[in-house]
Amino acid sequence: MPASAALQRHPLSRPSPSAPESGGPFNHPCYRQSSAPPPPPGAPNCRAVSLSLGRWLRTAPGPFRCHSQARCDGAMLALALLAAILGFSDPVDDFDSGPPKGPRLCRFFGPMGEWHDGASVADWQLLPDPVAGGRFMRLTFLAADGTAGCGVYFLLGPEAEDLSPTLSARDLRRYSALSLRMRGAVPDAQAILIELTDGDARHVLVPLPRPSASWAELAIPLDVFAVVDLSRLRKIALVLPPCGAATPSRLDIDDLALISGEPAPSSDDALLDLMERRAWEFFRDGFHAGTGLVWDKSSTPHISSIAATGFGLAALPVAAERGWLKPQDAVSLARRCLSTLLSAPQGEAPDTAGAHGFFYHFLDARNGRRFGDCEVSSIDTALLVVGAVACGEGLADLPGGADIREMAARLATSVEWPWMLDPSRKVFWMGWQPERGFFGSWDYYTDEALLICLLAASSPSHPVPPDVAWAWRRERGSYGGQSLVQTYCGSMFSYLFCSLFIDLRNRTDRHPTDPIDWWANARAAALANLAFCRSQEKDFVTYRKGRFGLSACLAPGTAPWEERYDGDYGALPAAVGPHHDGTLAPYAAAMCLPLFAGQDNPALTALWSFWRDCPRLWGLYGFRDGCNLGRTDSPADDWYASDYVGVCQGPLILGIENFRTGLVWKLTDKSPILRKGRDALFK
């Protein structure tokens, strides 16, 4: 719609000498009458919404009342306060990630950038905020006359069109308002507009108040963008139309966010439901539209992790059971994914999907073949197989679901476990590459090795004797009053990956001389992890207020905006280390929830502390992968991961769901294949 129409209709607008007239010199597409399809049926008229909002602002109670149209600019500040009281927000861009200049992704994992036309200029950089912490964006611009002006944009998903349909245009109907912080020095005549564009190119512009030298928090109700389809939103932009200024102006923006229309969680179940649902949305968006393979990380949508794919498959029946996904869609996604895996080329050539039924750690999500020079992985294949079997059992009773169970069984049957076994030591290799052969070995206790041995003993076609589970070392250690069989690095995930899928409560293994209750062992490891964090909280702020969860996760990089994956984070007891630097992973605490069911639960305490005391940790898919607080005296140096990782989001879902209902355990318990391996190893 023309900008002049937006300025006239929006109730928070005020007259501007630079307001463009229809047919004037503005030729940027956002100023033209849209030729896109009409609004969806039932969408309210923008003028009616504006009048309704204007009436509300003039009749609202207390500090939110605006007695005249001229005072409605101030209502944006009041709405920001109201939103802070009533709900919580998901950042579109808090400008804390990415380099100070150059290509970067916003928090919805689409590109952010500037645009300008003709003689107009727009240049941005990210600067540290020594007071509030993190960084903000400084935009230096000159919106020259005779042009379409300039601005910055934020795409709400990747630009590629072959990904999940939910990524090409976001459903924002659960949000009530768009908020931001703003300050600057701009000419009186300079208009500042927020533009929303949907998947059909419908767009609406809404003016913002003129900024002052101090930070102001604003909130714009999404109702005023009624012409756009909020169920399919594609882009948010800051538009600076020309105003005749001869010198550049400065505008600072921070904390661009969408305010949820949901109330903030006030009970344990509400918090867990919110966390689990948001983590599921990572997988909903991560199933590739063509192959059905799941992305490894939200920032790399064309790289699939087969372990993340296994977790995504296991999450499908959870999502269907909870009503987050239509049952027929769960069956369709599972069929697409399993069809790709079952038809993918296998062999010892370097350009296949795997060898001898095992799969490469990473696959190209577009074609299902090896990505880069990664290895054929025993543990990642195990996570894929057990997730597929759980999925098959969970969908078996749905229309078409029997096929999913049969396909999952075929996938499990195809794995040639003896090929990955070192016969001289009776331990499994970690991986194989055509360029180097076998390498690494599972010769020290970890729950991953336990899962591999259980699946190998389960195989209908290529079984391995269960005594391979007695071949790796079982070394005991103690910390914080807890004695247990330790893992190599003491990382929390390494005690729980098998137990996420297989119910090991009240069971001991069949070791002839040293039987172990691995469930009790994991519980002792969680208490030791908590005790270790408490012992270090004087030096590491992140470990305070009951927070724990030293486990593999994203970690701070060399530069403040860089991050890397660190698989060695852990606590005592451990064979090496402990390796830690103040970084905690919320998913690790979530995995521990079932360990303390029916009693005072330290994992719940930790999750509430992450929620209440680490607000910048929350984002589009729930808690991000990790955080590290108090690294220096400046809050600007607190670090929060910018990304989400499939092998962390999946354990969070399974840990929460097993704590709430035990659903995943019930599904794997129905599988004759998995029961065979469980009963061979456990009593």
- 619 — pLDDT class (breaks 50, 70, 90): very high
Helix (H, G, I), strand (E, B) or coil at 617: helix
Q: What is the DSSP string of 9-26?
A: H-TT----TTPPPTTSS-
Pull the structure tokens for residue 307. Answer: 């372990």
Helix (H, G, I), strand (E, B) or coil at 528: helix
The answer to whether the CB of 155 falls within 8 A of the CB of 111 is yes
Task: Measure Cα distances from 597 to 164, 265, 343, 498, 568 in Å.
Answer: 36, 20, 42, 18, 28
Strands (E), 370-455: 376-377, 421-422, 427-433, 437-441
Contacts of 62 (CB under 8 A, 6+ apart): none
**Residue 682 in this model has a pLDDT that exceeds 70:** yes
C-alpha–C-alpha distance, residues 580 and 194, integer Å: 43
**Residue 52 in this model has a pLDDT that exceeds 70:** no
Q: Which helix (H) or strand (E) holds 237?
A: strand 233-240
Contacts of 663 (CB under 8 A, 6+ apart): 317, 318, 321, 394, 657
**Residues 327-339 pLDDT 10s:** 999 999 999 999 9
- Helices 306-321, 268-286: axis angle to 10 degrees equals 130
Task: Measure Cα distances from 615 to 90, 107, 219 in Å.
Answer: 10, 14, 18
Q: Where are the alpha helices (DSSP H) in 10-114?
A: 46-59, 72-86
| Count of CB atoms situated within 10 Å of the CB of 236 | 26
- 244 — pLDDT class (breaks 50, 70, 90): confident
> Residue 512 has what DSSP assignment?
S
The answer to whether the CB of 393 falls within 8 A of the CB of 501 is no
In angstroms, how far is CA 149 from the centroid of its own chain? Answer: 35
Of residues 354 and 120, more confidence is placed in 354
- Kindly report which listed range (168-182, 506-520, 632-646) carries the lowest average pLDDT score: 632-646
* CB-count burial class (<10 Å; 0-12, 13-18, 19+) for 214: exposed
Task: Measure Cα distances from 275 to 367, 526, 586 in Å.
Answer: 32, 20, 10
Mean pLDDT on 261-275: 94
Q: Where are the alpha helices (DSSP H) in 322-377?
A: 327-343
What is the reported pLDDT for 56?
A: 30
Phi, psi dihedrals of residue 370, rounded to the nearest 5° = -50, 135
C-alpha–C-alpha distance, residues 462 and 657, integer Å: 32
Q: To the nearest whole percent, how much of the chain has pLDDT over 90?
A: 76
What is the reported pLDDT for 72?
A: 40
Mean pLDDT on 33-43: 35
Contacts of 443 (CB under 8 A, 6+ apart): 425, 427, 471, 472, 473
- Comparing C-alpha atoms, which of 121, 110, 131, 122 is closest to residue 181? 131
**Residue 310 in this model has a pLDDT that exceeds 50:** yes
Of residues 26 and 379, more confidence is placed in 379
- 87 — pLDDT class (breaks 50, 70, 90): low
**Residues 470-522 pLDDT 10s:** 999 999 999 999 999 999 999 999 999 999 999 999 999 999 999 999 999 99
Task: Measure Cα distances from 34 to 153, 547, 674 in Å.
Answer: 19, 51, 57
The answer to whether the CB of 615 falls within 8 A of the CB of 626 is no
Of residues 49 and 494, more confidence is placed in 494
What is the reported pLDDT for 145?
A: 85
Mean pLDDT on 361-389: 98
What is the reported pLDDT for 231?
A: 95
**Residue 595 in this model has a pLDDT that exceeds 70:** yes
Instruction: Map out the domains of the chain with their CATH numbers.
Output: 3-260 (2.60.120.430), 268-681 (1.50.10.140)
Report which listed range, 27-41, 175-189, 255-269, 669-683, is most confident. Answer: 669-683
Mean pLDDT on 592-606: 96
What is the reported pLDDT for 165?
A: 83
What amino acid occupies position 649?
Q
**Residue 615 in this model has a pLDDT that exceeds 80:** yes
> Residue 206 has what DSSP assignment?
E
Contacts of 140 (CB under 8 A, 6+ apart): 121, 122, 123, 124, 248, 249, 250
Pull the structure tokens for residue 98. Answer: 């990415």
**Cis peptide, bond prior to residue 573, ω within 30 of zero:** yes
Q: Beta strands 622-623 and 639-640: pairing type?
A: unpaired
- 409 — pLDDT class (breaks 50, 70, 90): very high
Of residues 93 and 1, more confidence is placed in 93
- 12 — pLDDT class (breaks 50, 70, 90): very low
**Residue 62 in this model has a pLDDT that exceeds 60:** no
What is the reported pLDDT for 134?
A: 83
550 HSE (CA, 13 A, CB side): 32
Helix (H, G, I), strand (E, B) or coil at 509: strand
**Residues 101-127 pLDDT 10s:** 888 999 999 999 999 988 899 999 999
Whole-number average pLDDT of the chain: 87
Number of H helices and number of E strands within the chain? 17, 29
Torsion of CA 178, 182, 186, 189, to 10 degrees: 30
> Residue 39 has what DSSP assignment?
P
- 635 — pLDDT class (breaks 50, 70, 90): confident
**Residues 418-475 pLDDT 10s:** 999 999 999 999 999 999 999 999 999 999 999 999 999 999 999 999 999 999 999 9
Pull the structure tokens for residue 512. Answer: 């002839």
**Residue 46 in this model has a pLDDT that exceeds 60:** no
Task: Measure Cα distances from 339 to 292, 320, 345, 367, 408 in Å.
Answer: 9, 20, 12, 12, 10
CA angle 218, 222, 224 (to 5 degrees): 95
Q: Dihedral sign for Cα 380, 105, 29, 209, please.
A: positive
What is the reported pLDDT for 434?
A: 97
Residues in the chain: 683
The residue written with tokens 């318990």 in the block is 669
Pull the structure tokens for residue 590. Answer: 């979530």
Of residues 505 and 188, more confidence is placed in 505
C-alpha–C-alpha distance, residues 666 and 672, integer Å: 12
**Cis peptide, bond prior to residue 578, ω within 30 of zero:** yes
- 649 — pLDDT class (breaks 50, 70, 90): very high
Contacts of 410 (CB under 8 A, 6+ apart): 342
C-alpha–C-alpha distance, residues 622 and 560, integer Å: 22
**Residue 401 in this model has a pLDDT that exceeds 90:** yes
- Kindly report which listed range (217-226, 365-374, 501-510, 663-672) carries the lowest average pLDDT score: 217-226
* pTM score of the predicted model: 0.88
The answer to whether the CB of 242 falls within 8 A of the CB of 146 is yes
